[in-house]
Structure 1
C-alpha cells in the first residue's frame, strides 16, 4: 500500500484546504512536507477558482515543529531549491550546510508563503510548537480551538527562537520575551488576548467556524483581497519585520555554531526526548507554583 501524502489538498468551492498529514509524529515538518506545502500553496495561488486558503493539521495536533528525530527526517538529502539561490546544502560541511538549508526550507519558504496573494487562514488545534509556529504565523488569520497551545522552547537549545522570527510582531515585545525566556505553553485564550489569534472556538466547532470565516472572506473581490494583503504586509515590513528576521537569523546560526562546538550537536544535545522532558518538568513546576 502506498504511503499517504505528507500534505493533502482539496478544493471545496472557493476555498482550498491544505492539510499537513504526518499525524503519527504530530505533523513534525521534514523537508518532504515543506516542499509539499510549497506545491499546495502554489497550486492554490494558480487556481482562479480559489479565493481563500485554509491550512490545518491532521490528527491530534496542528504541528509539533521541525522534524528533529523521526525515521523520515531528511535534513541530509538534497531537494530542488525554490526559495532562494543558496547552494545545495547536502554536500557542504558544518555551518555552511545548516545556513544554506535553513535559508531555503525555513526562512525562505515561510517568506514565500507569506506573499501568497490570497488570504490564508490557519486552523489550529492541539500543539503549535516551535517550527509549528512558522506556518501558522505566515497565515493572515488564525482560528484556534480551545485546546490549542503555542510555545517556542528552543531557548533551551541556546537558540534565540525559531528561524522565522515573527515573535515581536505576532505579540507585544514583553510578551514575546516571556514566551521565549520561559518556553512555556501559551493557551489559545491568552494568545487571543495578546492579539496573536483572531478567534477561539470549541474544538468540535473549529472546522465549521474556520469554514464560515473563509467563505465570508471569499465573497470579496479577489484582486482587492490580494492588494489588501500586500498593503498590510508592506506595513509590517516597514515596521522592521523583514530586516529584523534577517538579523535574528544570523544570531540563530551563531547559536547553532556555538552548540556544535560546545555541546553534543548543533541543537545543544536537546533531542526530542530531552525537549519533551524539559517541557514536562517546566509544566510541573508551574503547576506547583
Structure 2
C-alpha cells in the first residue's frame, strides 16, 4: 500500500497479511467527504493489488466510526442538477460497495456513532465487530434525504429494515443490532479493533485462493437473488429524490447555512417526538 503519509484523511498500514484502513477526520467524527471517499478507493486499490494483503480491516479514529456522508461539505457545495447529483451519489455508492465487492474479506471494527452512509459501509463489510458503545441507524428521512446504498433490507427482516429506515432511527444500540443480524459480534468497549484484527490475522493464514473463491460463492447467493439490480434501482430512486429536492432538505440546509450545522441538527431533532 502507499505510504501512510500519502493520505490526508486516512491512516493506512499493513502487517501480518492485514491491511488496516482507519478513517481519520476525528474533528468531524470521520464524516465521509469527497476527499476521504477518493482516498478509500485508492487504499482499496492498493490493498486488493497487494499479494501480501489477505484481509482488510476498516475502523474509525477518535470518538466513533463515522457520522456518515459529510453534510457540512454538501451545505457548502450546494449541489444542484441531475448530472451533479449523479456524480456525487455514484461516488458515495461505489465507495461503499468496494467492501462488498472486494475479492478479499473485509471487516468493519465499529465503536461510537456509525450512521447513515457509514452504517451502509459497515453493512457492506463481510464481518462487522461492534463495541458495546456502538450506535447504528439511518436518519436520512428525518431531514429530507434518501438512502444511497439500500443494503439494510438485505441484512435485516423487513420489519426491522422498514422501522429503521422509514422512521429515521439513528440510536440502534449494538446489542439490538446484533439481534437484528446487523453485526457479527459485540465486544466490550475498546476491544472492537483488537477483535477485528485477530479475526483478520486468522483469515490471512488461510489459503488466499480458497478464501477468495469461497467469498465469491457466498456473494453469488445474493447475486442470484438480484442484489445488484435492486441496489442500482434504489440508487436511481435516491438520485431522483436528491435531484428534485425535498422541502425538508431545503429547510435543513437553509438553517445550516444561515446559522450552523448544529442548529440544523437541533431543528431536525425538535420536529420529532422521543421514541
- Give the aligned length: 265
What do the CA deviations read for 1:125-154 (whole angstroms, capped 9, x no partner)? 000010111221221100000000101011
TM superposition shift of 1:46: 1.2
Judging changes above 3 Å, is the alpha-carbon distance between structure 1 residues 203 and 234 closer, same or farther for their aligned structure 2 residues?
Answer: same
Q: Which has the higher helix share?
A: 2
Structure 2 residue runs without a partner (length 5+): none
Residues of 1 paired with 2:251 and 2:125: CA distance? 29
TM superposition shift of 1:163: 0.7
Residues of 1 paired with 2:44 and 2:6: CA distance? 21
TM superposition shift of 1:280: 7.4
Residues of 1 paired with 2:155 and 2:270: CA distance? 25
Match of 1:124 in 2: 110
Residues of 2 paired with 1:270 and 1:191: CA distance? 32
Structure 2 residue 153 is the aligned partner of structure 1 residue 168: yes
TM superposition shift of 1:175: 0.3
Judging changes above 3 Å, is the alpha-carbon distance between structure 1 residues 124 and 195 closer, same or farther for their aligned structure 2 residues?
Answer: same
TM superposition shift of 1:112: 3.5
- Could you say what secondary structure the match of 1:204 adopts? coil
What do the CA deviations read for 1:144-178 (whole angstroms, capped 9, x no partner)? 00000101011113334x21110101211110000
Structure 2 residue 268 is the aligned partner of structure 1 residue 278: yes
Please say if residues 16 and 52 of structure 1, whose CA atoms lie closer than 8 Å, have aligned partners that are also in contact. Answer: yes
TM superposition shift of 1:201: 0.3
TM superposition shift of 1:47: 1.2
Please say if residues 30 and 74 of structure 1, whose CA atoms lie closer than 8 Å, have aligned partners that are also in contact. Answer: no
Judging changes above 3 Å, is the alpha-carbon distance between structure 1 residues 41 and 259 closer, same or farther for their aligned structure 2 residues?
Answer: same
Query: TM-score, normalised to structure 2's length?
Result: 0.87
Match of 1:49 in 2: 52
Structure 2 residue 202 is the aligned partner of structure 1 residue 216: yes
Match of 2:89 in 1: 102
Structure 2 residue 8 is the aligned partner of structure 1 residue 5: yes
TM superposition shift of 1:28: 0.2
Q: Among residues 30, 35, 39, which one is paired with 2:33 in the alignment?
A: 30
Structure 1 residue runs without a partner (length 5+): 77-89
Please say if residues 85 and 243 of structure 2, whose CA atoms lie closer than 8 Å, have aligned partners that are also in contact. Answer: no
- Could you say what secondary structure the match of 1:69 adopts? helix
TM superposition shift of 1:19: 0.4
Match of 1:242 in 2: 228
- Could you say what secondary structure the match of 2:250 adopts? coil
Structure 2 residue 66 is the aligned partner of structure 1 residue 63: yes
Judging changes above 3 Å, is the alpha-carbon distance between structure 1 residues 13 and 189 closer, same or farther for their aligned structure 2 residues?
Answer: same
Query: TM-score, normalised to structure 1's length?
Result: 0.83
Judging changes above 3 Å, is the alpha-carbon distance between structure 1 residues 75 and 220 closer, same or farther for their aligned structure 2 residues?
Answer: farther
- Could you say what secondary structure the match of 1:285 adopts? coil
What do the CA deviations read for 1:88-108 (whole angstroms, capped 9, x no partner)? xx9xx51221013312x1112
Residues of 2 paired with 1:6 and 1:143: CA distance? 22
Match of 1:19 in 2: 22
Residues of 1 paired with 2:239 and 2:33: CA distance? 19
Residues of 2 paired with 1:251 and 1:42: CA distance? 29
Structure 2 residue 190 is the aligned partner of structure 1 residue 204: yes
RMSD across aligned C-alpha pairs, in angstroms? 2.6
